[in-house]
Chain A
Amino acid sequence: MLGPEAVGSFARRHRYHPLEALPWLVAVAAYFAFPTYVPLGAQILATILFALSADLVLGYAGIVTLGQAAFFGAGAYTAGLLATHGWGEPITGLLAGAAVAALIGLLSGLVILRTTGLTLLMLTLVVASMLYEAVNKASWLTGGDDGLQGMEVWPIFGRFRFDLFGNTAYLYCLIVLFLCWLAVRRLVHSPFGRSLVGIRENVRRMHAIGAPVGGRRLVVYTISAALAGISGALIAQTTQFVALSFLGLDRSGTVLIMLIIGGVGRLYGAFIGVPLYMIAQDRFSTIDPVYWFFWIGLLMVLLVVFARGGVLGLAERLQSRVRSRR
């Protein structure tokens, strides 16, 4: 595609395509079709938000991070501690979680974002690990390894209680995810978002044209941290529990895996990779409680060998092959 056609398609990118309604229709349909799987569904929705935050920073800004769990856990513990100490209002708890996570993202970003590559990867890991150890040490406050107990989350708007069947949780997560997704989509298609892609693809050029590379990276890192904090607060509020593992390397690694499976930098990778991974894990561990690890690992290896760029990458290649045939 060259010339006016390319410009046209570029200018139209930000408009809403009918196909984009699909994930939301599926989410609503699933709610009615699988009422007993609703708690799992709520966790999937919150994790999609988490993966979306990772996509923003990894897929769009090119910052490879193994420390997203730091922000996830920060949001979770903030919402959790508020609910344990008498303030169980969910929405303000959510916002508080976002704020604390964003603050940690900002402060750590100021220190570590000057580095790149493996060094940056290690530093993100190190920041998350230090937070983990600090929270573990403060077990008088956080419950340490036992996790945070005694959370009492109030009903939303005083009416919708978080019950055992997870209905309120599902709809709550869905709405929050939708709102955050709208914001991310807007961001990504804005000039700011375009400049991020420029930074990812060719940093030197961006410096040469005078783009504020450092500032941009910091802003997107902070926004991504806030989103991860919201997803952590969601999980905390809907399960009424916060565990130390929320801050662990496993969590950072798994969200990265889920995102890569779906496809990085394409906005919808999270929507595909997260349900795929979490449902596969649920099914495999029911069938084979001991060896499900093997099947997930094999799935991942096969995906890399046969479907590079994740599921969305595969879809793109198929689409272009179909187009070129016409």
Chain B
Amino acid sequence: MHLSDTASAIVSIGFHGLAFAMVLYLISVGLSVTMGMMGFVNLAHGVFAMLGGYVLTSLMKDQGMPFPWALVGATLAVAAASIPVERLLYRRFYGGDELDQVLLTIGLDFMSVAAATYIWGPLQQPLQPPAWLSGPIDLGLQHFPAYRSFLILCGAVLVTALWLSVERTRFGARVRAAVDNLRMAQSVGIDTSRLFMATFALGSGLAGLGGALGADLLAVNPGYALQNLVYFLIVVAVGGLGSIRGPFFAALLLGITDTASKYLAPEFGAFFIYALTLAVLLWRPNGLFGRA
């Protein structure tokens, strides 16, 4: 089956947009929950995604680890690294003055830039996917890059697992309770302190996974956290703070708009993304799935 040029362009845009959306969602969902549940403006969230990318490329390049294992390793490493940050530093500022949180997390962003330069150098870390994931593959309609296809598949599996666990498990129920009404959740006996730690670790781990998988799309370099901050904030704001599903649709909207505008009107840069964000937030100030 051969598609006409226009249809082919639409399919391409949808495909690439979806791949980008998966990466954005995996990274941003943790931020949405952190901000919604703990009331903590974590502008350093991108550092965890960046760390995931760095750990993945280091494991593959220096340790020669195969790609799937390196992915797992990166996710676990980032999740583990996030725990002391939460316990020792962030915890003190929950529900507190937002400006303090902004200052703290931006300070951490700055330190991360210098630390990454020191450890890994100023160069971008390229992703060398294994041979079975490189180059184009034929998916019937037309050719698509193999790696992006893998990304979409991976993302779909993770998103489904995440949503199911939030809906069906006790942990998920506790998370939803804490996001809805923290005091009430505490008064029915939920250990919110442990919950925060676990949720933060999960969110950061997912961010690390997103950063690792998306090393192709969002370049892994020392300035990562600050460069991509706007994208993550847009996904969270448009999706709705504290929501788990919201950021997915926001990411989808953002990913497809970004890809479409790059293809159709690249001279306008990111203008359409901002215009879209403006429109959505004026229409729904609490985000697509947010609560008042």
Contacts and interface: CB of A to CB of B under 8 A. Distances in A.
The reply to whether A and B meet directly (CB within 8 Å) is yes
Interface of A: 58, 64, 111-112, 114-116, 118-119, 121-123, 125-127, 129-130, 133-134, 136-137, 249, 253, 256-257, 260-261, 264, 290-294, 296-301, 303-305, 308-309
A119 B286 contact: yes
Given A125-B230, A125-B233, A301 B269 contact: no
Q: Please classify the interface of chain A as helix (H, G, I), strand (E, B), loop, or mixed, using the class held by over half of its residues.
A: helix
B110 A293 contact: yes
Contacts of A293: 110-111, 113-114
B107 A299 contact: yes
Contacts of B230: 125, 129, 249
Interface string B104-141: 10111111111101100000000000000000000000
A58 B97 CA distance: 13
Given A260-B100, A309-B97, 4 more contacts: A133-B268, A133-B269, A137-B269, A301-B108
A294 B112 CA distance: 8
A133 B103 contact: no
B188 interface: no
B233 A297 contact: no
B282 A122 contact: no
Contact of B97 (A125, A134, A308): A308
B281 A297 contact: no
B103 A253 contact: no
B241 A118 contact: yes
Contacts of B234: 122
A119 B274 contact: no
A294 B278 contact: no
B1 interface: no
B110 A133 contact: no
B104 A300 contact: yes
Which of B107, B230, B275 neighbours the largest number of chain A CB atoms within 10 Å of its CB? B107
B271 A134 contact: yes
Interface of B: 35, 89, 92-93, 97-100, 102-104, 106-115, 117-118, 229-230, 233-234, 236-237, 241, 267-271, 274-275, 277-278, 281-282, 285-287
Contacts of A260: 99-100, 102-103
A122 B209 CA distance: 26
Contact of A119 (B109, B112, B114, B285): B285
Contacts of A122: 233-234, 237, 277, 281
B87 to A, nearest CB: 14
Contact of A130 (B117, B241, B278): B278
B277 A296 contact: no
Contacts of B269: 133, 136-137
A54 B227 CA distance: 23
Nearest to B272: A133
A257 B111 contact: no
Nearest to A108: B278
B98 A64 contact: yes
Given A133-B274, A256-B102, A304-B100, A294 B35 contact: no
24 contacts: A64-B98, A115-B281, A115-B285, A119-B281, A122-B281, A123-B277, A123-B282, A126-B278, A130-B271, A130-B274, A130-B275, A130-B278, A256-B102, A292-B114, A294-B114, A296-B107, A297-B107, A297-B110, A297-B111, A301-B104, A304-B104, A305-B104, A309-B97, A309-B100
A264 B99 contact: yes
A304 B274 CA distance: 31
Contact of B103 (A114, A119, A130, A300): A300
A112 B115 CA distance: 38
A290 B285 contact: no
Nearest to A131: B274
Nearest to B223: A293
